[in-house]
Structure formats: structure tokens, C-alpha cells
Structure 1
């Protein structure tokens, strides 16, 4: 990555240098007006941390409430253990096997000419090289671990509740070769600070007895005791409520048509409610970020990755999991949210289409029934699909742009819930010219 771009904030501010970074001394109050575009879990967390830093914050959201799109019914995991990106050497032979399968864990639809999707696919293949995978894993893990710590502090300080469970995440594997690869990846993550423990099948059952139905098919598991799960939508709603109590203004039902620029600055937002202005702007609009940035000459390497989930009422607590589960072979995650079971997974590259494809819903349901038969009432399962903003290297875009007062907080893919708090805290430090708690290198657009 090139050096961190140092954007300019309001001209009334005075710049000094400190420890190699350009530090900014705001007006005496240190308070600037910031507009965050997007009230998903990422945008809402950004608003929270920016307000905590003393800024005047306004959030613009096209939907009628917080967390109603990608954050609404995701897999529910806070999972640094998923730091290894999709783009890794082990995925290449699988892509060939998945071609043409409607129930494939990763499905790319090449039925129309889409230059951005083809460019994304080419970059994805390049990032499957071993050296790239290791660097990208470290970047994601650096932010994910920090974010998990931020979430814990936030929970302790506010008492926010969202059907959270802190029993860890258990990855299960059927193929011995896949299990061996996962153990090697776990070694890399341990070197970067993530506690991961390889388990025998018997030890998997000790952690989660509800896996008894599939135990004969397993080769082993890897347990991450520090990871968590919870309802991302409930968290986002509650955090928005807390943020409003801190003075954040949420404008719901207001779509942003375009960002108005003047030279190398964003001068305002053209919205359905008229022109809105601030001194700093944060683009946290998930997949919509790409379209908003494109007229500015900013080409964000993001494509929508459609994910599916089902939510079913728990019928037999003894046969439903307590520990959050990742079935790595089928790219399925399972989280217990109170008396509900959330099962989510798959990625379908099909543009902005939110149609629920029956074959893919059936695949998620089938995996749920096989993993935990009798654990939930699958006949009453509610299906959902959402668009996750995926980058080809699996690393989000958190940092400045060439526009002096426009910042990015987007492209988190399947890990938006995992990295939301850390991204917001990091962004607040960077905008405020404070030395951040983690190194932002490799997380920005200039990488």
C-alpha cells in the first residue's frame, strides 16, 4: 500500500505534524459537523464513535430505520476467525466444481457483460496467490480483533443488549484435507493474536452436543473461544437509539442522489430532502457506495454479494446449538439468537437483484435440517436475502479519499458486523488526527 493519504478538513483548522502523521487542531471546541451516509451496522457504529469524539453527527439513510438492509438478518457472528478471505489458494479448485450449480456456496453469474464484475473477478484470482492471502488475512484480522475489543468495551459501558452470546465459534470440517488447511490458517491467525484451538470430533461434541447428528461425518473442528454472536439488526437499532441520546440526528427515508463536489472537496449532498451540507462526509452505504463514488472518479472495488439466511423458532433447546457454528464445507453459519435459530450463508454475484432464488433458500434450509434436526421448526423458517459489499481481497475500505473531506467506511463483505465498531473507532481517530489504536496501513483505497 502507498502511504496513508492525509486529507484536508475545514480550512479554518490549523495543521501541525506529530510523530510522522499530520495532526489537525480543530477550532477550539474540536467539533465539526459530519454527515454519515448509511445507517447499517457500519454507518451507525461510525456515527456513535464520531459523536463520542465530540463531533456534530447526522446520519442519512434511505430506509425507514436503522439496520434494514445488509444488517437485517445476517449470520449473527462477530467472527475474527473468518479473517481468511474468500480469495485464497484453496478456493481455486472449488470454483471449477461449483460452476453451473445453483446451490454452490459461491456463485458468479456471468450472463451479461459487466466490466466491473469481470475486473473484480480478475482481481479476486490475483488475490488467491499465497502471499496476497497472508497479507489480506493479517489486515482483516488486525481490524477484526480491534473491533471485537471495541464492542466489548461498548457493551460494558452502555449495557446494550442484542441476544448476544459469548460462547465462541466452532468451525467444523468433514474433509481431512480441508481440516489440515484450516489448521495451517489457524496457526497464521494465532501468530497475529487470535486464539484458535484444533479439536477432535469428540472434543467438538463436548463444546456443542447438538452436533451429534453429524458427528460421524466430521474430521475435526477449530474453536475460537473469544468470538461471539448476536442479532446485528437489534444491535444496530439499539446503538442508533443510544446515539440519538448522544445528539446524533438520524434522517430516515432520505435517499442520496449524488455527492456535490467543488474542486477537491465535497460541498454537499443532493438528497430527496434537498441539499444537505457538512464539513466532513463518511460514505458507509454498503453496496450503494460504489454508485455514489463513481461520478466523483472514485472506483471502489466493490460488488454486491447476495447472501441468504433463514430464521426459525427453536423447538427443542437440547437439539439446537448454544455455540455459534460455521460449517466450512458449505459456507454456512448458525447462530442462536434467543429462541430463534439463524442460519446464513452462500454468496451470489448477481448484481443488485434481491430475488430469493428457491434453490439457494432450499440449500440453506437443507443444511440447517441436516446439522440440527429437530432443533427448530424449519417449516416456519423465514427466508431473507441481502447484498453484502464485497471487495476482491476481502479487506474493507476504511480511510480517506482524494477528496479532502470525504472518507470511506465500506466494503466489509460478510464481516460488517464483525468489523463495524473497530472501523468506526478507527475512523473517528483518523478524522480527529489522533494516533489510532491500530495501524491503518492496507485498509484504505490506496492499497
Structure 2
């Protein structure tokens, strides 16, 4: 690899680290700076799904039916606080403006091409020496009755209509692959072709690979400003300044604060998710999705991680114990063999949601400053592909058609 200059990547989640890894493939010298550390944000506590068949627009027509009632219900899976917050209300208005079938189809068409290459991008990291494991499916998708499955099946039909191949079949016994589901779950589907990771260990393995190849990762390095120039610079909270040939901002829900002045006007709202892990009587082997209860579950370090909620709040607001309690309440209705008092790793993370459901990947108005973020719930599955095509753009100046719809200056 020939040297192509120095790049500072701001953000040590899966998107930032995947970008750093691919920049190294192009010969760049890379430093990754993060306020907290590797996978400290939404890359740590999520369900770890590598599920292209579920990587779809969040804003959908059904929101007009249940959204207004659900949003202000304190125990609803989708929630925002009822308070005077102009930015939040403006985001909500834009988000709801996308909740039409034509808008869903437009965004889905743009997501499909990156969805198709998402799993290949993980394989490329594995071949390249990243030691983290991806685990094969199937996923178990459960419902209390057939009528609850209509929305999910419509989404899968939409994904197939836009060009993905999705294999799904009915399970005769929902407990065959998911023994923690109780008799309330009477209908289940087996969704093939998806994978999962244990997010924390996997992202750490990606960080280790970056360091092994000569990269530097610094925790406790809070970037408060990015300054443009022939050699852009980052300004840290301690007042220090570091220059590079190029800078990538991959700070998730905190992205607007560093990039707005460079033409990135799309709103990025924290859609906070919560999770915890529990022990199960029979070890969990498969990811479980309960769409009606909006719970995404996955095996995690010998336990079972249960994740849920889309809470529209500020990214640095305090952990809301009531959100976990609401997930527990729902889980108790449909699960068995679990002591919910033995919860570990209670967590909240801020997923970066854009109103139109498209991420922000590419160059800003400042020639050598780039962004990678705004993936909503799909930063994990799309992180490696994002890093690959952004690094290609930075090295060659050519924008791959796969990421063209995600222009951060749109």
C-alpha cells in the first residue's frame, strides 16, 4: 500500500471504524478519535442484526394510524416527550411527511442496492483479517395471531418488490427454534439469509484490526469543531488542534453539530433504543423478532439480549428506566423461562435518524471534510459497506452509484 496521506476519523463506532479500515486499504494513515471509546454509542447495545431484509425506511404509512396515539404514550415502543422543543417538532413534521407509500418506495429503492452488498462487506472484513464473527440465521418472527403479521408481511413484500431475494416460511411450532417464546405466540415465520453479530465484541475486533495495521485509536478525545482548509483540522475540547489531509465525521446522532456549517442541512434526530440481557432456561441460538411488540432479540455472550423502543429525545439526555420497564412488561407477556429480575447491561443508545430514511455518506461543501452517518437503526448492518464506498470516494474522487442517493448535501 502506498501512502495517500493522513485522515482523522471522528467517531469509533462501526461506521467510523469500517471507514478507517477501508481507508487503510487505500494506503491512508488513519487516526480515530472518540469522546468515549470504541463502540461507546449506538454500536454497543443494539441487537446486532445483519438483516438486509429488515433494512427499510422507518417512516411508513401505518404511522398515520398508530403514530399520533403512540408517540405520547409513556409506555409505547415509539415515544417522544410532550414538551416545547421546536427542533424535535420540526423533525417529527418532516418524518411524518415521509409516511406515504410513494415516499417509502422511493427510499426503499435507494436502500436496496446497499442492502444487497451489506453482507458481502462483512465477508470482506473477515477475509481481510477482522476476527469478529458473524452468525448465520434463521431469524424467528413471532406473532400472537395471524392478523398481527399483516404489516410485517407487507414490508417483506415491498423489499422483494424492490429487488431483494428474501426466503421466508411458516414454522409449524414457534418454539422449535425459539424456546423462550410462550404459548401466546401462536404464529411464527422463519426468515432466512440474515445474520447477527455480538455488537460490542465485533466492533472491538474491528478496532483491533485497525490498530494492528498501524492505525491509532484515541478514547477521551472529544472533537468540538472541524475547521476547513487545505489541511482541515479538528479542535478538541481541551483546546488542542490536530491537522490532517482529510477528516471524516462519523459521530452518529451528534453529527449535525460538526457538519452543519459545511452544508449538511438534513436533520439527524436521536432515536434512542434501549436493551438489556437475560438468561434463558434453554440457551438462545437464533435472533427473534416480535414486530407487534417492537422487540428485537438476539443471543449475546451466552445470554439473550432484548432490545426495543424508538425514543425521540436528545442524545445526551438521561437514561429513562421507564423505557426498560415497558420492554420488560411486553416481554413477560410473550416469553417464558426467564427471570426478568436478573437483567444485565441495561443500556440506552442514540441511533441517528434522518427524516427521509436515507443515510448521509459523502463529501461536504468543504473539499476535504466528509460525513458518514444518519443510518437510523441500520448503522450496524450498513457500516462496512458505508466505509468501503466512502473510502473509495476519498481515494479516487469517484462516487459509487450505491451511495449516490445518500449525498449529505441533498
* TM-score, shorter chain, exceeding 0.5: yes
The 5 A counterparts of 1:242-391 are 242-262=209-229, 267-271=232-236, 272=238, 274-296=240-262, 298-312=264-278, 314-317=279-282, 320-375=283-338, 378-391=341-354
Structure 1 partner of 2:203:
236
Does the aligned pair in 2 maintain the 1:266–1:403 contact within 8 Å? Answer: no
Contact 1:183 1:198 in 2 (8 A): no
Q: Which moved more, 1:90-99 or 1:364-373?
A: 364-373
Q: Which of 34, 42, 49 is equivalent to 2:15?
A: 42
Give the SS at the match of 2:18.
helix
Could you list the per-position Cα deviations for residues 283-328 of structure 1 after superposition, in whole angstroms to 9, with x for gaps in the alignment?
101111111123445323101111111122x2422xx532201111
1:419/1:74 CA distance change after superposition, 3 Å: same
C-alpha offsets along residues 3-46 of structure 1, whole Å, 9 cap, x if unaligned?
A: xxxxxxxxxxxxxxxxxxxxxxxxx9461211111111111111
Tell me the distance in 1 between the aligned counterparts of 2:380 and 2:159. 19
Shift in Å at residue 166 of structure 1? 0.9
1:129 corresponds to 2:100:
yes
Tell me the residue number matched to 1:51. Answer: 24
Superposed CA deviations along residues 358-402 of structure 1, whole A, max 9, x for unmatched, are 321111222333333214664233311111111112221111211
Quick check: 99-108 or 204-213, which moved more?
A: 204-213
Return the alpha-carbon distance in structure 1 between the equivalents of residues 167 and 118 of structure 2.
21
- Further displaced range: 387-396 or 165-174: 165-174
Over 3 Å counting, the alpha-carbon distance change for 1:311 and 1:437 in structure 2 is: same
- Quote the Cα distance in structure 2 between the aligned partners of 1:100 and 1:62: 32
Aligned to 1:428: 391
Gaps of 5+ in 1: 1-27
Structure 2 CA distance for partners of 1:438 and 1:58, relative to 1, 3 Å:
same
Output aligned runs, 1:189-204, within 5 Å.
189-200=159-170, 202=172, 204=174
1:198 offset after TM fit, Å?
4.0
CA drift at 1:353: 4.1
Change (3 A) 1:391 1:99: closer
Assess if the C-alpha contact under 8 Å between 1:399 and 1:443 holds in 2: yes
8 Å Cα contact 1:266/1:406 also seen in 2: no
Please report the RMSD computed on the Cα atoms of aligned residues, expressed in angstroms.
2.4
TM-score normalized by the length of structure 2: 0.92
**TM-aligned CA deviation for residue 437 of structure 1:** 6.4
Tell whether 2:139 aligns with 1:169. Answer: yes
Aligned-pair distance for 1:61?
A: 1.0
Q: Distance in 2 between matches of 1:137 and 1:101?
A: 29
Structure 1 residues 69-101: Cα deviation after superposition (integer angstroms, max 9, x where no partner): 221211221121222222010122111231431
CA contact 1:35–1:281 (8 Å) conserved in 2: yes
- Alpha-carbon distance in 2 for matches of 1:32, 1:192: 39
- Given that residues 105 and 331 in structure 1 are in contact (C-alpha distance below 8 angstroms), is that contact kept between their aligned partners in structure 2? yes
* Structure 2: tracts of 5 or more residues without a match: none
Alignment match, 2:39: 67
Q: 1:309 to 1:399 in 2, by over 3 A?
A: same
Instruction: Give the match's secondary structure for 1:287.
Output: helix
Deviation digits for residues 229-251 of structure 1, max 9, x if unmatched? 12111111111111111111112
* Residues in 1 aligned to 2:27 and 2:256: alpha-carbon distance in whole angstroms: 29
Task: Give the corresponding residue for 1:149.
Answer: 120
